[in-house]
Amino acid sequence: MSIVVVGTVAFDTVETPFGKGENVLGGSATYFSTSASFFADVSLVAVVGEDFPEEHVAFLQNRAIDTSGLQRIPGKTFHWSGRYGYDLNEAQTLDTQLNVLMDFKPELPESYRDAEYLFLANIDPDLQMEVLQQVRKPKLVACDTMNFWISSKPEALKKVLQNVDIVIINEGEARQFTGEANLVKAARQIIALGCKRLVVKRGEYGVLMFTAETVFAAPAFPMEEVFDPTGAGDTFAGGFMGYLANTGDLSEEGLRQAIIFGSVMASFNVEDFSLNRMKRLEFKEIQSRFSSFKALTSFRDVSV
């Protein structure tokens, strides 16, 4: 099954305690589509400037990602700069240059509008709603957001959350959006808006998935080497949605399985800067780490 992702394709300049990457390939749609492409067909909608190298487009196309929706317009490509300390769970933003993103009007090619799976990556919630109005009968719609939109466009974001099936955000954003310190209570408030599920990314502490009745927790895979966590959340979302699109299994068990595959993909992404690790990743490595993940969380019942 195919997935359409609408988000950003960007340049990142990232500094961590372990090195620095300057003007490297980044963006929410880039990380998502690369990860999801290991499981399903992906079509990408984003905008870049005249300075965006063809080699980056070729990389996406070599992953069999449909770039018909990648717009190239006059100007410079979106550029984000950030720094991580030894606490790699959150970046300090140093600079954000929106550039051509300021003029981005997502227009889905006709061939994208019947997609069964849609992911609205981190962009203006007004644009997310415009995209929702362009798809016909999606089987599953999920979205992401960030603290900037929570503070600047809360009502527009609320409207998006009321019209999607799954919301994928980090725990700080869940607390910020609801004003609720307790994460469980915050999750209940978001689900009450109308979405069916909330997936909360917690960095090195794993993932929580909430419905109105259930909670599922999965740890993060323990890593000896973490070089760059940039894009880990989008890589997680790509693995999560990619697995669902591959299997079509939207049961509780299928969604829990997808959480683990998303976590596996994120664990690879953090092993190098930008998408360098994803570029050399092979599917057999994904299978092997999934097995290791299963062993990590496996235990038997005990009679007391």
| Residues taking part in catalysis | 234
For residue 226, give every residue at least 6 positions away whose Cβ sits within 8 Å of its Cβ, in sequence order, or none.
18, 88, 204, 270, 271
For residue 19, give every residue at least 6 positions away whose Cβ sits within 8 Å of its Cβ, in sequence order, or none.
227, 228, 273
Closest CA to 199 of 237, 147, 231: 237
- The answer to whether 9 and 33 have CB atoms below 8 angstroms apart is no
Closest CA to 134 of 156, 103, 163, 112: 112
Beta bridge partners of 209: 199, 216
Give me the sign of the Cα torsion angle 101, 159, 172, 206: negative
Helix runs in the chain, H state only: 28-36, 54-62, 125-132, 147-152, 154-161, 171-178, 183-192, 232-247, 252-269, 276-279, 283-296
Determine the 3-state secondary structure of 53 from DSSP.
coil
Closest CA to 143 of 160, 124, 159, 158: 160
Phi/psi for 117 (5° steps) reads -125, 130
* Distance (Å, whole) CA 110 – CA 84: 41
